[in-house]
Amino acid sequence: MASLLTLAFKLLINDRAKFAALILGLTFSVFLMVQMISMFSGILLRASSTVLNTGASLWVMDPAVTTVANSIPMPDYVLDAVRSLDGVRYAVPFYSGGALVKLRDGTYQSVNVIGLDDTSLVGRPPLLEGRIEDLYADNAFVVVRDAEYDKLERPTVGTTFEINDHRSVVVGLAAAPVSGLFGIPTLYTTYRRAIEYIPSTRFTLSYILVEPKSVDRLPQIQAEVARLGYRALTADEFVHQITLFYMFRTGVGTNLLIMTAISFLVGLSISGQTFYTFILENLERFGAPKAIGAKARDLIEVILFQALLTSLTGYGLGVGLCAVLIALAKVRLPDYSSTITYANLLLAFVMVLVIAGISSYVGIRKVIRLEPFDIFRG
């Protein structure tokens, strides 16, 4: 069997033009598949940035909320009702809203303002500069130093600007594990200052962050919140809901899914056609082993070996090319959101195996039907 695999390898690389065509076709296909899936993963990650950066165990919200960026204000009595539930260690208010910042040069920049509970500052980001206690000072804000930081003219501690004609002072610079999706800088302040500075409706409570006494109490708290007419989701459930929203209720998921399917079909057509042509041109080389006693199973293993070798080589080159280009893009474009995950790699690997299986099946049918007599007669 080892000699047959050696023969298969030599047959494969002997025709360099077709071998190169197979590798390039699969590399290009894998590159497109991983790129499209990684773009979608990056979008979903950034869409959930507020949930991931806050780190709350349970989020209480209006039942109509679909994504964290589109909060629906709740009346203040909901906070008191949640705090009184059995099993709740603490519950704090959380504000999330948009505002316009007037910069020093007179230009305006949209920002996302996060208002933290005045007493505990639950959900505060880790600071790179400044002290978190300074957030209690008059007009104090913390600026997140992420990909959107330059849009605020790179403020430092002590920089002043205006929010809705209110003087604001930067008291700290924070780090955020995940940047936002829409290219908007993020500011942190206290809850009371946020609802004071930013015009809002009659109700101002965007979310309630809840920490249970134990994980076992989560279902009970969620049921009690549902009886109040609201919904309580864990962080993972909230992220999953956001994922479903962008996947099925926007054009983003559909468009990227179509592009991924097209990439798969491109790889399948190129590899299938090229591999079938390779089999046709080497029929006599497959017929000779069959004439001297090689079994059909041996020839099938030879073809599978060739298909897997080319497919896995193309997979490795495609993933490597995608990783390099994403890294270069992020150096030049900080807002670039593509993210390669293990799930992306696994999905692309499965699709490559499907391509290899279909391509080898085309060749296997031709070789199995081959009669050595036909080869020697020619």
Whether the predicted pLDDT of 292 surpasses 70: no
Tokens 């809002």 correspond to 200
Residue 291 pLDDT grade (very low, low, confident, very high; cuts 50, 70, 90): low
Report for 6-15, 288-297, 316-325: range of highest mean pLDDT: 316-325
Selected residue with higher pLDDT from 43 and 371: 43
Q: Residue 73's pLDDT is what?
A: 93
Whether the predicted pLDDT of 16 surpasses 60: yes
Identify the weakest region by mean pLDDT among 73-77, 84-88, 336-340, 342-346.
Answer: 336-340
Hey, is 131 helix, strand or coil? coil
Sign of CA dihedral 57, 61, 63, 67: negative
Whether the predicted pLDDT of 374 surpasses 60: no
The predicted-structure confidence for 232-290, as pLDDT tens digits, reads as follows: 999 999 999 998 898 888 777 778 778 878 878 877 777 777 777 777 776 666 666 66
Sign of CA dihedral 108, 114, 118, 120: negative
Whether the predicted pLDDT of 22 surpasses 60: yes
How many whole angstroms separate alpha carbon 11 and alpha carbon 243? 47
Residue 229 CA to its chain's centroid (Å): 32
199-228 in b/e form (b: 16+ CB < 10 A) is eeeeebbbbbbbebeeeebbeebbebbeee
pLDDT over 70, % of the chain: 92
Longest dimension (CA), the chain: 96
The contacts of residue 213 (CB under 8 Å, 6+ apart) are: 87, 88, 89
Whether the predicted pLDDT of 77 surpasses 70: yes
Q: Residue 236's pLDDT is what?
A: 94
**Closest of 224, 149, 179 to residue 49, by C-alpha:** 179
Selected residue with higher pLDDT from 147 and 135: 135
Q: Residue 371's pLDDT is what?
A: 64
Q: Would you list the domain boundaries of the chain?
A: 2-46+251-377, 75-229
Whether the predicted pLDDT of 166 surpasses 80: yes
Q: Is 64 exposed, middle or buried (0-12, 13-18, 19+ CB in 10 A)?
A: exposed
Q: Rounded to the nearest 10 degrees, how much is the dihedral formed by the CA atoms of 207, 210, 216, 219? A: -30
How many whole angstroms separate alpha carbon 43 and alpha carbon 32? 17
Q: Residue 192's pLDDT is what?
A: 94
Overall residue count recorded for the chain in this entry: 378
Whether the predicted pLDDT of 44 surpasses 90: no
pLDDT over 90, % of the chain: 43
Average model confidence (pLDDT) across the chain: 85
Tokens of 167: 């003087």
Q: Rounded to the nearest 10 degrees, how much is the dihedral formed by the CA atoms of 276, 280, 281, 282? A: 100
Whether the predicted pLDDT of 150 surpasses 90: no
Tokens of 127: 């600071």
How many whole angstroms separate alpha carbon 39 and alpha carbon 252? 10
Q: DSSP label at 133?
A: G
Q: Residue 250's pLDDT is what?
A: 79
Whether the predicted pLDDT of 343 surpasses 60: yes
Tokens 């006693």 correspond to 293
Neighbours of 106 (CB within 10 A): 6
Q: Is 126 exposed, middle or buried (0-12, 13-18, 19+ CB in 10 A)?
A: exposed
**Closest of 343, 338, 333 to residue 322, by C-alpha:** 338
How many whole angstroms separate alpha carbon 18 and alpha carbon 23? 9
Helices (H), the chain: 2-14, 16-47, 49-54, 77-83, 191-197, 218-227, 235-248, 251-281, 283-291, 296-332, 342-368, 372-377
Contact 51, 68 (CB under 8 A): yes
Neighbours of 333 (CB within 10 A): 10
Average pLDDT over every residue of 18-26: 81
